[in-house]
Structure 1
């Protein structure tokens, strides 16, 4: 674990209850968990090799819904910023859009590759795939519409994050590069090569800093609008995922 500062009490409470998801618990996944996301109001979504997504109440650990419509491993999950929508992405080359309150399916989006990462901001959804493509969808009342395809990565897109309140997208790939995009316009803003697979990316809640982690354990922290290195630290092992705490003083 890599950290600056301390997690919030709410995050600590959620962490203390993760044990209810272990094998043998009621409603638990039957095979390894590949993806996890936490909504603004504390719901937890998980995705698994068992071809299901699950929605949990974060503090009690109670299973709310099993999403079993995918035909292959569920490899990525994400919530909309307001928590009203849940997205589940799969190796079956689809993303399912669900209304979080009822867990009812709103739409199925077809992707141009196996889904590896998801991120949502306002009315935009970004989908990263195993072939280096990033598809951007506009979310509307009547359904989502593809508006851009971001091309630049040559390996699977393992991490995506929107700068809060904007259409600026950060992506990281197995090709060893990180990139900043104007997602709605489909244009590249900046890029940096690290020469080591990038496995996690994040913006802080205030949108002032970005971070990305590498498979070799290095984590870099930069200003949000450029790759002008501010600080770096090495974790004890390879980084698999990265996220800021709600206050922005903690990342791990």
Structure 2
């Protein structure tokens, strides 16, 4: 849904995005510039823009009212799985199977930041400060320089995270996970105090942490 709750976007496997009137159910726009199936859609917080992430390695940004294509962002080397706008609608984040998160300027279309990740991220969103990206594998710090730059590394990770066979704290390996407990899907609670894992064994488990202990240490 758009943040004003007036529109709904859907992404079928037919390479289109459809935009609907949420009150009447009438079709408002059919967006047809994709060359592959779309995995994620997101409205900007001012409800003026719509971003879509297809399998074709691009991110497209549309005018939500008219359906006109505004930008095609081309820097990922693999499928894009999730997109999200900052709360001020000035930034757009995209997470790809190429194990990066990219942060884009929605006005200039420039890539402001490229953040390497240890695993593919399937969900992401900005926190209300627009300084952190919350993902299903942990929290990533956003840098907001005046010029584009490539950043990344363990120092950009904040709080609890998940990296392959490890639970991490601020990017540092902390708790090793045996093979039967490694996630094929994972998530971090909004408070950052709990980590959930869904495993190939069919087991789902949740670990709660107290960061106060780590700060004291």
In the alignment, does 2:158 pair up with 1:230?
A: yes
Which one has a bigger Cα radius of gyration?
Answer: 2
* Alignment-derived partner of residue 3 in structure 2: 81
**Structure 1 residues 197 and 127: alpha-carbon distance in aligned structure 2, compared to 1, 3 A threshold:** same
Runs of 4+ in structure 1 off by over 3 angstroms are 223-227, 238-245, 248-252
Match of 2:90 in 1: 167
Cα distance in 2 between the residues matched to 1:201 and 1:208: 13
Q: Select 2:13's aligned residue among 65, 85, 91.
A: 91
Q: Deviations over 1:228-250 (max 9, x none)?
A: 332232376343677858xx999
| Corresponding pairs, count | 166
Distance in 2 (CA, whole Å) between partners of 1:146 and 1:211 is 27
2:99 aligned to 153, 172, 176, which one?
Answer: 176
Q: 1:104 aligns with which of 14, 20, 26?
A: 26
- Give the TM-score of the pair, scaled to structure 2: 0.67
Uncovered stretches (5+) of structure 1, i.e. residues with no partner: 1-78
Query: How much does 1:212 deviate?
Result: 2.5
Equivalent-residue separation in structure 1 for 2:41 and 2:158 (angstroms): 26
**Per the alignment, in what secondary structure is the counterpart of residue 169 of structure 1?**
strand
Distance of 2:43 and 2:99 partners within structure 1: 23
Q: Which whole-Å CA distance do the structure 2 matches of 1:193 and 1:244 have between them?
A: 22
Could you tell me how far apart the structure 2 residues matched to 1:168 and 1:199 are? 19
C-alpha separation between the residues in 2 aligned to 1:199 and 1:86?
21
- 1:101 positional shift: 1.1
Report the equivalent of 1:239. 185
**Structure-2 residue corresponding to 1:200:** 123
Cα 1:222–1:239 change in 2 (3 A) is farther
Scaled by the length of structure 1, what TM-score is found?
0.58
How well do the aligned residues superpose, as a CA RMSD in angstroms? 2.8
Q: 1:16-165 residue pairs with structure 2 within 5 A?
A: 79-112=1-34, 113-121=36-44, 122=46, 123-140=48-65, 143-165=66-88
Aligned partners of 1:157 and 1:174 also within 8 Å: yes
**DSSP 3-state at the match of 1:93:** coil
Question: Residues 134-191 of structure 1: CA distance to partner in whole angstroms, max 9, x if unpaired?
Answer: 1111223xx2211110011111111111001223001101111110001342110000
Compared CA separation, residues 240 and 149, structure 1 to 2 (3 A): farther
Map Cα deviations across residues 77-136 of structure 1 (whole Å, 9 max, x no partner).
xx1111111000121011111111111111111132210111111211111011211111
Task: Specify every segment of 5 or more residues in structure 2 that has no aligned partner in the other structure, as ranges.
Answer: 145-150, 168-180, 197-217
Query: In 2, distance between residues paired with 1:149 and 1:133?
Result: 7
